[in-house]
């Protein structure tokens, strides 16, 4: 599966940034795989907040987190990632060590419900604003669905416009894959 190496790399980058006791955000909970990863990394003294607009996604994630014994360190919120700034405690601002995005649609869910450029761009900026210096944000971008191409172009243009003195931006992609393979965008907030 083409996506697996990108997800592994995203998690490696976030593992470097995250320590037990940290706070993290899963901006697009989906089936809860990334939420579980973040909850395991922050440990029993850390906290994770996850966002998704679909109740089905939150239920699947809740079950996954409960089965793993980490549900108590996670808050799941049924709201758009674009409202992330409103959904995290004030004292988290500038303290979040990791933010994960997995754009597109819910695997096994309604493929008509997808992330879209406008809300995603608002969410990306909110995530960047929440990050602590040295914090990392990863964004899995899928252009293989109808709204995906426009969203991918918008996200990459946004990332390219970021000031290099404030954010390091890495684009990781496959060069020899066909059919619109996913790409990984990773951002590290620089120390000022």
Domain boundaries, the chain: 3-189
pLDDT tens for 42-56 read 999 999 999 999 999
pLDDT tens for 79-94 read 999 999 999 999 999 9
State the pLDDT at residue 192.
Answer: 66
CB 65 within 8 A of CB 108: no
CA distance linking residue 101 with residue 185, whole number of Å: 10
Which residues make beta-bridge pairs with 131?
A: 96
pTM attached to this predicted model? 0.94
Question: Across the chain, which distance is largest between two alpha carbons, in Å?
Answer: 44
**Residues sharing a CB contact under 8 Å with residue 184, sequence separation 6 or more, in sequence order:** 6, 9, 10, 138, 139, 140, 141, 171, 172, 173
State the pLDDT at residue 37.
Answer: 98
Q: To the nearest whole number, what is the mean pLDDT of the chain? A: 92
Q: Domain 3-189: which topology? A: Rossmann fold (3.40.50)
Residue 117: phi and psi, rounded to 5, are -50, -55
């Amino acid at each position: 599966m083409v996506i697996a190496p990108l997800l592994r790399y995203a998690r490696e980058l976030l593992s470097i940034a995250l320590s037990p006791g940290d706070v993290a955000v899963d901006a697009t909970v989906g089936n809860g795989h990334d939420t579980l990863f973040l909850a395991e990394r922050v440990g029993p003294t850390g906290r994770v907040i996850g966002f998704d607009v679909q109740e089905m996604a939150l239920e699947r994630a809740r079950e996954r987190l409960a089965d793993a014994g980490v549900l108590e360190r996670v808050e799941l919120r049924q709201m758009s990632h674009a409202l992330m700034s409103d959904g995290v405690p004030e004292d988290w601002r500038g303290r979040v060590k990791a933010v994960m995005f997995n754009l597109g649609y819910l695997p096994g869910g309604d493929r008509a419900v997808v992330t879209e450029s406008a809300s995603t761009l608002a969410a990306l900026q909110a995530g960047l604003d929440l990050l602590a210096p040295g914090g990392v944000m990863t964004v899995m971008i899928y252009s293989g669905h109808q709204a995906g191409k426009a969203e991918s172009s918008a996200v990459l243009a946004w990332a390219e416009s970021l000031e290099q003195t404030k954010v390091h931006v890495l684009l990781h992609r496959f060069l020899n894959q066909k059919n619109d393979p996913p790409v990984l965008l990773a951002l590290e907030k620089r120390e000022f």
